[in-house]
């Protein structure tokens, strides 16, 4: 698998020198994700080149660049590791503690009054603690990114990243929780035991099919919202992207058959949400018979990959297998979303050449578009669970705030996250009022 790496390359000053270095990268069929200047002297410039590499291509590319004679690969930049040093999050006091009086108010003896008040009326915890604004981000490390089962501790940088995004984009406090177990019942009971600390639970990077039972049980047994982001966060963003694309090419989503290639947590989450949204039908392909059974219980239909490409008006792929979709299978007018990163099931330009009306890869379709606003909205609504209507509201808010010609909005646009949260909150409050 390819991982984005940052190469440091020294290139002599002369017309066309950098262009020839980049040509070597192109000849190696590698994609440049970023290029920036680190340092410039009288005779050369040191560049940071962000590129997706594996160990074999890295060694080959280094040799080919060095062979040019006027350029040298100095090594790998440690910029990413520098950003992670010491971790990406910390817990800070919201109150400046600069006097003995403040100490007495927030700790001893004053805090006892608040404790007793909450004991008498537990609902007061919503006003006088951080519970209402805090989300647990919980993993056991069995399905981290596309890396697989790398363990809970190795997954901590992802959980910290989620927490940082929660806070920066919507002001929610995210707390990473690592569970060193693969036992379903132990995971469920551990989460139930710590649930009073939090206003909501985000399950993250827990492998299928275990993730389905864990989420279902927790939704039934807890009175706070629980959401497995790999299923539902992904599904919301995919639905939003499909809505945006459908509007661009004037395609009727609800009158479409959707083909879902890959029926893991993300694929089944997408399938479930699209069926609930009211598409004409969903066909799915996966090598795992258990996944097909799960799909058909939802109301979808299992088919072979060529059959799927023949029947589907909209194709969504989440397999992680580069080049899985053969160009000859693409039908005129299809909408194709090959969402695996870093390597798509079919390159969008190739799909368009073969007649697709719309094609996109997964570089811009990311959960960060959805989960901050989803949880902010649910917390503000005082919701006890996420409903499909709340997920639909989030997807439609994303699509409605997507600029013309784009698939989804800028993920760092805080105004969009605010609008998502408001839409989710409005639906959540209505549901709670009717409950």
> How far, in Å, are 225, 229, 274, 316, 326 from residue 234 at the CA level?
17, 7, 12, 12, 25
Helix (H/G/I), strand (E/B), else coil: 326: coil
Of all residues in the chain, what percent are helix, strand and coil, respectively (each to 5)? 50, 20, 35
Q: What is the pLDDT of residue 6?
A: 86
Q: Where in the chain is the domain with CATH 3.40.50.720?
A: 231-435
Q: Which DSSP string do the residues of 58-97 spell out, in sequence order?
A: HHHHHHHHHTTSSEEEEEE--HHHHHHTT-S-----SS--
Report pTM: 0.86
- What is the dotted CATH code of the domain comprising 3-84? 3.30.70.260
Q: Where in the chain is the domain with CATH 3.40.50.10380?
A: 131-224
Q: What is the pLDDT of residue 166?
A: 97
CATH superfamily, domain 231-435, is NAD(P)-binding Rossmann-like Domain (3.40.50.720)
How many Cα atoms sit within 13 Å of 89 on the Cβ side?
20
- Positions of the chain with pLDDT lower than 70, given as ranges: 1-2, 55, 435
Q: What is the pLDDT of residue 2?
A: 64
Q: What is the pLDDT of residue 1?
A: 58
Q: Tokens for 60?
A: 């080959």
Supply the residues annotated as catalytic. Answer: 107, 162
Q: Where in the chain is the domain with CATH 3.30.70.260?
A: 3-84
Residue among 183, 174, 189, 175 nearest 140 (CA): 183
Kindly report the number of other CB atoms within 10 A of residue 316's CB atom.
Answer: 29
> How far, in Å, are 82, 152, 367 from residue 155 at the CA level?
18, 5, 16
376 Rama class: left (phi>0) / alpha (psi -120 to 50) / beta:
alpha
Q: What is the pLDDT of residue 55?
A: 66
Name the class of domain 131-224. Answer: alpha beta
Question: What is the distance between the alpha carbons of residues 350 and 266, in angstroms, rounded to a whole number?
Answer: 24
Strand partners, 32: 51
Tens of pLDDT, residue by residue over 106-150, are 999 999 999 999 999 999 999 999 999 999 999 999 998 878 899
Residue among 88, 178, 175, 106 nearest 139 (CA): 178
Q: What is the pLDDT of residue 432?
A: 80
Residue 96 buriedness (CB in 10 A; 0-12 / 13-18 / 19+): exposed
Q: What is the pLDDT of residue 332?
A: 94
Tens of pLDDT, residue by residue over 280-311, are 999 999 999 999 999 999 999 999 999 999 99
């Amino acid at each position: 698998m390819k991982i984005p790496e940052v190469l440091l390359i020294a290139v002599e000053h002369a017309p066309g020198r950098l262009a020839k270095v980049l040509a070597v990268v192109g000849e190696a069929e590698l994609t440049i994700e970023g290029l920036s200047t680190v340092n410039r002297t009288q005779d050369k410039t040191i560049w940071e080149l962000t590129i997706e590499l594996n160990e074999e291509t890295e060694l080959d590319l280094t040799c080919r660049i060095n062979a040019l004679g006027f350029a040298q690969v100095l090594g790998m930049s440690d910029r990413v590791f520098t950003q992670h040093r010491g971790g990406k999050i910390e817990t800070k006091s919201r109150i400046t503690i600069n006097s003995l009086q403040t100490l007495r108010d927030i700790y001893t003896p004053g805090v006892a009054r608040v404790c007793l008040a909450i004991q008498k009326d537990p609902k007061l915890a919503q006003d006088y603690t951080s519970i209402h604004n805090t989300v647990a981000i919980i993993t056991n490390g069995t399905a981290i990114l596309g890396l697989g089962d790398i363990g809970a501790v190795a997954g901590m940088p992802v959980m910290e990243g989620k927490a940082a995004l929660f806070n920066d984009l919507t002001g929610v406090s995210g707390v990473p929780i690592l569970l060193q177990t693969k036992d379903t019942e132990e995971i469920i009971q551990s989460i139930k035991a710590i649930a009073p600390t939090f206003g909501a639970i985000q399950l993250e990077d827990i492998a299928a099919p275990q993730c389905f039972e864990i989420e279902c049980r927790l939704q039934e047994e807890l009175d706070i919202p629980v959401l497995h982001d790999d299923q539902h966060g992904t599904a919301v963003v995919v639905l939003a992207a499909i809505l945006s694309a459908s509007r661009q090419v004037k395609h009727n989503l609800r009158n479409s058959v959707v083909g879902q290639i890959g029926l893991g947590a993300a694929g089944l989450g997408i399938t479930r949400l699209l069926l609930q949204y009211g598409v004409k039908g969903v066909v799915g392909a996966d090598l795992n018979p258990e996944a097909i059974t799960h799909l058909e219980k939802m109301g979808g239909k299992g088919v072979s990959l060529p059959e799927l490409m023949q029947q589907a008006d909209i194709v969504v792929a989440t397999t992680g297998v580069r080049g899985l979709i053969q160009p000859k299978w693409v039908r005129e007018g299809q909408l194709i979303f090959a969402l695996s990163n870093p390597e798509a099931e079919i390159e969008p330009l190739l799909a368009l050449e073969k007649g697709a009306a719309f094609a996109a890869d997964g570089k811009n379709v990311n959960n960060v578009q959805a989960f901050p606003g989803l949880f902010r909205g649910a917390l503000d609504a005082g919701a006890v669970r996420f409903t499909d209507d709340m997920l639909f509201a989030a997807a439609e808010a994303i699509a409605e705030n997507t600029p013309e010609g784009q698939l989804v909005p800028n993920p760092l646009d805080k105004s969009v996250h605010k609008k998502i949260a408001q839409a989710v909150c409005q639906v959540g409050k209505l549901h709670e009022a009717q409950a």
